[in-house]
Structure 1
């Protein structure tokens, strides 16, 4: 695990209208690691991600490699941060390959067309997520899970330092949930990026993330490091947000240690 901190969120507070949703949240991310935001529905996970992506007015600040994200231009921010929301927002018919190649927009001039080398990189990214041969298919005809894989492919070609993903696993089947997390983990390690993800499944977070930030009622109630913290500490912290659960340690057929959650309610 990298010891180089490249991002910090400092005293982030925000809400909608007169209602405050997140209160004075601070966190830091290391290069080469994934961090999961976990908590019940309404705990503030998406709101925090949107604040860091500068998509929502907020108090506090976000610092990436010494630069304040709130002070960056839209294009400057896009060169530094990859933000994948729950819904893509794309409502017009576009070939899948064109959607992936949108990842090059921050480094291209107005009206500039992608190069052959960029097109080949986009095709390789689609192959990597299991969508080889989908290049000419209309993006709007895909299932929600396939759309998420397209955006994972787009993320693979972006050259940014910080990845922000809001529930990247939400529409995926079991196999593809693990596929997308394996891709993300490999990518951040190889590129020395930092990834911050909203996840509903604590088992996925425990399996793939070096750090878990626990949110409850818009506040941070704990920070866990699965590779370092004791089973007892992690179980007590997870009970704080999920209620009556047990954290169980087991090994797979290759003898590799895994953690899983048993719901007792």
Structure 2
């Protein structure tokens, strides 16, 4: 695998009109990698994703194969970078299939309609995410987790090289969380692609991400490789955001190292009274 920088962020600053929330964030990713973002609430995870995809004014640069994403017109940016927020924002009655077909919008001309081949590819994407047979249902009738999977299917057909996800696991059960990450792993390996995902669940991040970007106070605290970094280094970085933790390495049936994280917080000796 080519590990030359594919996606690079340098000096990224951003906020919401007040003091900057991001303050000089820097990291890079090679193609074929899933990078998870971990940090305490308010550390800048969502702000980072919004800045990269142009939803927030920002300083610094986000380069994808040498192209500054901040200089691209919205239509060109949408062809290269796809963003999945925590909530889809779709508030109208629309079929599940039509939601997925939205992924082709940046590639279609004015009044141009999706082709039969595009519709077939969209149906296959829905099948991959576990929504086969739901194509003609109203998107609004899906559960929040199913809506998230539908939006993922939309992204799979979009042709984007960089996928940004904001806590995609928040509405999914245990099985669907891992199905989603396995789908993303297959997706990034098909072509020159990368995934950047803000995750709420550190165990999922440790198990499924190639690299971890640790944010603290809007800055890059550490960039970790769960598969090979020494456990003490991982524990030190994770303890900075989660409090004292310990990690145990467990061999999986696939031969890979899997990590289990335990909290080492101790109860106070004094009774807890309101």
* Same-fold status (TM-score > 0.5): yes
Match of 2:64 in 1: 64
How many residue pairs match? The answer is: 265
Match of 2:119 in 1: 119
Alignment partners' CA distance in 2, 1:193 and 1:252: 26
2:10 aligned with 1:10: yes
Match of 2:191 in 1: 191
Match of 1:33 in 2: 33
Q: TM-score, normalised by structure 1?
A: 0.97
Match of 2:130 in 1: 130
Contact 2:96–2:134 at 8 Å: present in 1 too? yes
Q: Which moved more, 1:83-92 or 1:254-263?
A: 254-263
Alignment partners' CA distance in 1, 2:66 and 2:214: 25
2:11 is paired with a residue whose SS is strand
Deviation readout 1:175-209 (Å, 9 max, x if unpaired): 00000000001110122201100001111111111
In the TM superposition, residue 231 of structure 1 has moved relative to its aligned partner by 1.1
5 Å matches for 1:48-63? 48-63=48-63
Contact 1:40–1:200 at 8 Å: present in 2 too? no
In the TM superposition, residue 2 of structure 1 has moved relative to its aligned partner by 3.3
5 Å matches for 1:1-265? 1-253=1-253, 255-265=255-265
In the TM superposition, residue 261 of structure 1 has moved relative to its aligned partner by 0.7
In the TM superposition, residue 255 of structure 1 has moved relative to its aligned partner by 5.0
- Root-mean-square deviation (CA, aligned residues, Å) is 1.2
Deviation readout 1:98-155 (Å, 9 max, x if unpaired): 0001001111111111111100000000001110011011111111100000011111
Alignment partners' CA distance in 2, 1:208 and 1:186: 12
Alignment partners' CA distance in 1, 2:192 and 2:59: 28
2:6 is paired with a residue whose SS is strand
1:131 is paired with a residue whose SS is coil
In the TM superposition, residue 4 of structure 1 has moved relative to its aligned partner by 2.9
Alignment partners' CA distance in 1, 2:253 and 2:166: 32
Counterparts in 2 of 1:71 and 1:253: CA distance versus 1, 3 Å: closer
Contact 2:11–2:26 at 8 Å: present in 1 too? yes
Alignment partners' CA distance in 1, 2:256 and 2:19: 45
Alignment partners' CA distance in 2, 1:168 and 1:246: 25
In the TM superposition, residue 252 of structure 1 has moved relative to its aligned partner by 3.4
Contact 2:227–2:257 at 8 Å: present in 1 too? no
Alignment partners' CA distance in 2, 1:245 and 1:101: 44
1:222 is paired with a residue whose SS is strand
